[in-house]
Structure 1
Amino acid sequence: MARHLALSIGGVVAAASVVAMLVNPGTAAPESMRPVSGGTSISLKDGVNSFALAPSAADMQRVASYWSPERLKQASIYEPSTKPSPTAKTSTSALEVGSALSTRPTITTTTATATSGVRGSAKDPSVPPMVGKVFFKLGDKEYWCSASAVHSPYKNLVATAGHCGFSLQQDKPVEDWIFIPSYHDGKADAGIYVGHTLYMHEDFAGQGDFDRDYAFVTVHRGFTWQPYTAGGKVQYRSVDAGLLEDKVGAFLFASNKPTGRGAFAFGYPAGAQPDGSRPYSGQTVKMCYGVTEKRFAVAPTWQVEHGVRLPGCAFTSGASGGPWVIGYNSAKRTGYLNGITSLTWNLNGGGRVDAISSPYFNTLTQRVYQRATRQSTS
């Protein structure tokens, strides 16, 4: 039985000296779908929780002002943690989990992304423009994960990992959440999109169940920073970038698909391999290709019992939330979102990660997605 918890965001959004108001701030959602201000959770029917991130125009402005180009450069890769136990200390690193599993496969901390090439294929498809990074604040530090735009009627929806939107250790949503599609080498040419409302399954926030480690976030209209000089100092003004899906397109959503089919995984890996090597910079999208398989082992600490793995992907921290895409069309640079990178695995016990896993996108996932598609933000 899923547990219903009321959680709230307690942090204060910092401000930076940035000029100009954003163009066309998002309008309020219909009353039936409007989140409670301050990040309080609304438990909707069918096991869906929603958390307000920046629902008002004022909230949006504060978050946008916080993310100056300098702060984007300061952000670090984010690695997930498990939910604290009231009776025992919970491990927060995959290496500790791996030790606890002893002879079972070692789980290395989170977020994955792709290899530099396409595994099992000589074809190298173009990078989908709807893949990007999410940035957020937790405590006094800035972090990032991977994510992608997914289709919705309001053209405003992002898919990522649940742990890239909600902190299990602190029992609250992260702060100052934004999405930058087509991110590369520190550039945000396609715009910056401030998160409006976070949607996830109640079992992730309430129980820390990584079988539900997915989230869908509605976003406001985007903006780009335009530099100018005033008083001998470089300042920035915001310029409207429009709706997310109009700008970069979006993957379609798919659920309840069988395993044993080819899938591309995209993301921004950056962390070290178990052997200490760092093959990725996290500055450009990487990808890998594989055939999806059923979960090979359970991971009790993470409450992982079901799911899908993609073998052969040597992904490291930085790409949690990156999309798994089936039916990928390299000419149109789109396809069907059917998973997100949640955890990485070291199956052979060697010095490199050799598989990634995603929660299985089933009817429960579809319910969360459908709730999120009803949220208008502009």
Structure 2
Amino acid sequence: MNLVRLPIAVAAVVAALFVTAPPAVAADPWGQGTVNTVGKIIWEAGDGRLGLCSGAVVDAPNGSVVATAAHCVSARESPSAPGDVYFVPAYDHGRDSYREDGWRVSAFHLPEEWDPNGETGAILPHDYAFLTLEERDGESVQEAVGANALRFEPVRESGEVAVLGYPAADPYDGESLRYCAGETNVLDENEAEPVNLGGLLLDGCDLTAGSSGGPWIQDYDAETESGTVVAVMSVGSGEGQVVGRPYPEAARPLLAAAGAREAEDTETTPAPGSEVPLSER
């Protein structure tokens, strides 16, 4: 793979993912249309606008956890977590019915190091988050659609990775699942500035805003429509390179808090990082 050294200036493009005109279209429609365990995160952003990100269901004791990017929850332009947020698995042209089709988010779980007003170089390595969802009609999202495994660092570098999401900036409309695929490459000191060290690089991919938080999946199984999430979409260069952010070992307690079963785990599981229940917004 022809590797490109990604500067800190590139990493500053967090909330919008891309701010320049995209290159020639490189992200393809997903061949099967949708993936049950991958979906779209939607909320009212005011002035008739919708906030959009992507995410994936990951295995958890409560069956109600979605992995996504921290900047989908809290960014410099909108530091407060949004209210009335829904995750719609296997989303496909469902803008008018996302509340009926989706699972409502009950809490956000972000690492303590994620400060949307902080220096980009300091916060970008922590651009990961978990969402806890409410059950719907007594059923968890995992019971309904299944779940992906989540791999913490270190990420296996060999083999293929598929990057999935719902890009909504030109030339896309955010209404259908798109993807890029390639060999997994973990950035080291010879390939990236310190802010992007440990991130996953994929070349020749023009996924745009709206794909933020989308899963980077290894070992995808078409029968179960799931695989292993090794990172979430974090930033892009605007010139065909995108970077995924893996979950470090330090994120294990964050997943435990997001996935705790209320009756059994809440009293014994610490809630590290920043947990933001909807009732506090």
TM-score (normalizing by structure 1): 0.57
String of CA shifts for 1:213-242, please: whole Å, max 9, x gaps. 1110111113xxxxxxxxxxxxxxxxx372
Flag structure 2 segments of 5+ consecutive residues without an equivalent.
1-5, 265-281
Contact kept in structure 2, 1:179 and 1:192, CA below 8 Å: yes
- The alpha-carbon deviation at position 253 of structure 1 amounts to 1.1
Structure 1 CA distance, aligned partners of 2:78 and 2:211?
22
Question: What is the CA distance between 1:172 and its match in structure 2?
Answer: 2.4
Paired letter, 1:191:
D
| Residue 297, structure 1, aligned to residue 192, structure 2 | yes
Deviation at residue 372 of structure 1 after TM alignment? 1.5
RCO greater where, 1 or 2, for CA within 8 Å and sep 6 or more? 2
1:366 aligns to 2:274 (yes or no): no
Match of 1:128 among 19, 25, 35: 35
SS at the partner of 2:107? Answer: strand
Structure (1 or 2) with the larger CA radius of gyration: 1
- Match in the other structure for 1:356: 242
Secondary structure of the 1:358 match is strand
Q: How far apart are residue 126 of structure 1 and its match? A: 6.7
Does structure 2 retain, via aligned residues, the 8 Å contact 1:293–1:308?
Answer: yes
1:252 aligns with 2:149: yes
- State how far apart, in whole Å, the 1-side matches of 2:28 and 2:98 are: 22
Aligned counterparts of 1:316 and 1:244: Cα–Cα separation in 2: 26
Within-5 A mapping of 1:232-243: 240=137, 242-243=139-140
Which residue number in structure 1 is paired with residue 233 of structure 2? 341
Aligned length: 242
- Please say if 1:317 is aligned against 2:209: yes
In structure 1, the residue matched to 2:279 is none
Q: Is structure 2 residue 85 aligned with structure 1 residue 181?
A: no
By how many angstroms is 1:170 displaced? 4.4
1:287 CA displacement: 1.5
Cα RMSD over matched residues? 3.3
Aligned-pair CA distance for 1:142: 3.0
Q: Separation in 2 of the partners of 1:249 and 1:189?
A: 20
Does the C-alpha gap of structure 1 residues 105 and 318 become closer, same or farther in structure 2, counting only changes over 3 Å? closer
Is 1:162 aligned to 2:70, yes or no?
yes
163-172 vs 329-338, which moves further: 163-172
Match for residue 276 of structure 2? none
> Displacement, 1:367?
3.1
Which residue in the other structure is 2:278 paired with?
Answer: none
Q: What is the match of residue 52 of structure 2? A: 144
Gaps of 5+ in 1: 1-96, 119-123, 223-239, 273-277, 347-352
- TM-score, normalisation: structure 2: 0.74
Question: How do residues 12-27 of structure 1 correspond to structure 2 at under 5 angstroms?
Answer: none
* Aligned CA distance change for structure 1 residues 126 and 282 (closer, same or farther; 3 Å): closer
Give a deviation string over 1:186-214, Cα, whole Å, max 9, x none. Answer: 25498321111111111113746111111
Determine helix, strand or coil for the equivalent of 1:289.
strand
Decide whether aligned partners of structure 1 residues 376 and 313 sit closer, same or farther in structure 2, where only a CA change above 3 A counts.
Answer: farther
Match of 1:269 in 2: 167
C-alpha contact (below 8 Å) 1:220/1:377 kept by paired residues: no
Which amino acid counterpart does residue 62 of structure 2 have in structure 1? Answer: Y
Maintained 8 Å contact 1:298/1:306:
no
Alignment of 1:8-87 (within 5 A): none
Residues 33 and 176 in structure 2, CA contact (< 8 A), matched pair in contact too: no
Q: Are the counterparts in 2 of residues 264 and 325 from structure 1 also a CA contact under 8 Å? A: yes
1:196 aligns with 2:106: yes
Tell me if the contact between 2:128 and 2:247 (Cα under 8 Å) persists in the aligned partners: no
Change (3 A) 1:152 1:337: same
